[in-house]
Amino acid sequence: MTIASSSPPSRLPAGGATEAHSTPRTRRTEAGGNGGDGRLAAVFIAPALLGFVVFLLWPTLRGVYLSFTRFNLLTPAEWVGLDNYVRMVNDPIFWDSLWVTVEYVVINIGVQTVAALVIAVLLQRLTQSAVLRGIVLTPYLMSNVVAGLVWLWILDTQLGIGNEIISAVGVDRIPFLADETWAIPTIALINVWRHVGYTALLLFAGLQAIPNDMYEAARVDGASEWRMFWRITMPLLRPVLAVVLIMTVIGSFQVFDTVAVTTAGGPANATNVLQYYIYGSAFGRFQFGYASAMSVALLVVLSAITILQYRLTRAGRTDLG
């Protein structure tokens, strides 16, 4: 199964299609001419294939191999069998960082999906303004590093405007990024701020595929916006929503940048997400074998979640026409 096979908004969104397309077709047949284009195809595919094999296929296999070795970059990798995996299973910090990562993903995805859905529906039902869509997308242009720094400043315990407002309201200042309980939710929400616009636009594109007459017909029948949302929007958006969810979950499991610039894993390992731990093991302690084993574990977790999600949400099927 692949995510791609369920390609949600395969139609061309309005305005995005080039004017040249008078009669778009989706035929799979190639251009005329008899016989194959083998030689030419080989030339055309060569660079991409080279990149694919060298930087994707080979590293994937090599990563699996390295996870069975002791390797510190300086001496050749030494085969140690399942040692790294045994160590991993017995490593409390590994389980802790996996748990922290899951906590992050749940908060991040939960808030982001709901918020993106609200934004997408508002963008569709309220106005078609491209300016508004542009505004919503602006945080996505920032790097995670920039987003992390800005919120680090806004949420600063002493001088941050966020805390100034909180204390003006009469609540105690919150050490958002310096407190063990607050740190992960805070980082999760910072990344929601950065990514929610992009996710909203993906959902918005899915919403555009729902024929407007459905809403018109429902309105004639006296349905409220609320009812239309649950009876029309949600069911028809489900496949797109499912794919977006799978993507965003995979993405958010790989959280690193924001943690690196805001808390660096602290306080007391409270934000030591899996990717940060992997990075530390490899580049802090030069345990490339162990780091690879943890990467394999992450890959397994991600694959399992993806397959499960795909099944549960029936992402491959559409209810639309």
Partner 1 sequence: MTAVTTTTPTRVRPARRGFPFGRAVAWTVMGLIVLITLLPFYWILRTALSTNAGLSADPTNPLPVDLTTSGFERALGLQSAEEAIAQGGAGGGLDFWRYLLNSVLVSTLITGCQIFFSAMAAYAFSRLRWRGRDAVFGLFLAGMMVPAIFTLLPNFVLIKQLHLVDTLLGIALPTMFMTPFAVFFLRQFFMNIPKEVEEAALLDGAGKVKIFFRVVLPMASTPIVTLGVLTYITSWNDYFWPLMVSYSDSSRVLTVALAIFRAQTPATGVDWSGLMAATLIAALPMLVLFACFARRIVSSIGFTGIK
Choice between 270 and 306, CB closer to partner 1: 306
Neighbours of 64 (CB within 10 A): 14
3-state percent helix, strand, coil for the chain, nearest multiple of 5: 65, 0, 30
Of the residues 80, 106, 111, 261, which one makes contact with partner 1 according to CB under 8 A:
261
- Counted residue by residue, the chain has a size of 321
Of the residues 81, 92, 126, 169, which one makes contact with partner 1 according to CB under 8 A:
126
Nearest distance from residue 193's CB to partner 1, in Å? 7
Of the residues 78, 179, 225, 319, which one makes contact with partner 1 according to CB under 8 A:
225
Distance CA 136, CA 140 (A): 8
Choice between 36 and 81, CB closer to partner 1: 36
- If you search the block for the tokens 């069998």, which residue do you land on? 81
Nearest distance from residue 302's CB to partner 1, in Å? 6
Of the residues 16, 76, 170, 321, which one makes contact with partner 1 according to CB under 8 A:
16
Of the residues 218, 296, 305, 320, which one makes contact with partner 1 according to CB under 8 A:
296
Task: Say whether residue 114 binds partner 1 (CB under 8 A).
Answer: no
Of the residues 88, 174, 236, 244, which one makes contact with partner 1 according to CB under 8 A:
244
Residue 116's nearest CA partner among 33, 238, 5, 199 is 199
Distance CA 46, CA 40 (A): 10
Of the residues 235, 283, 311, 317, which one makes contact with partner 1 according to CB under 8 A:
283
Distance CA 303, CA 253 (A): 12
Task: Say whether residue 313 binds partner 1 (CB under 8 A).
Answer: no
**Interface mask toward partner 1 for 160-179; x: CB under 8 A:** xx--xx--x-----------
Nearest distance from residue 69's CB to partner 1, in Å? 11
Tell me which DSSP letter residue 4 carries. Answer: G
Of the residues 182, 229, 279, 286, which one makes contact with partner 1 according to CB under 8 A:
279
Contact window for partner 1 (CB under 8 A) among 87-95, 98-106, 141-149, 309-317: 141-149
DSSP for 156-197 reads -TTT-HHHHHHHHHTPPP--TTTSHHHHHHHHHHHHHHHHHH
Residues 176-215 that bind partner 1 (CB under 8 A): 193, 197-198, 201-202, 204-206, 208
Choice between 107 and 119, CB closer to partner 1: 119
16 burial type by CB count under 10 A (0-12 exposed, 13-18 middle, 19+ buried): exposed
C-beta of residue 255 within 8 angstroms of C-beta of residue 184: no
Contact window for partner 1 (CB under 8 A) among 78-86, 88-96, 171-179, 217-225: 217-225
Give the chain's radius of gyration (CA, Å): 24
Neighbours of 170 (CB within 10 A): 6
Residues 78-107 that bind partner 1 (CB under 8 A): none
Task: Say whether residue 288 binds partner 1 (CB under 8 A).
Answer: yes
Task: Say whether residue 127 binds partner 1 (CB under 8 A).
Answer: yes
Long-range contact list for 71-79, CB < 8 A, 24+ apart?
A: 71/288, 71/289, 71/292, 72/286, 72/287, 72/288, 73/286, 73/288, 74/286, 77/288, 77/289
Nearest distance from residue 117's CB to partner 1, in Å? 12
Contact window for partner 1 (CB under 8 A) among 105-113, 178-186, 229-237, 274-282: 274-282
Task: Say whether residue 33 binds partner 1 (CB under 8 A).
Answer: yes
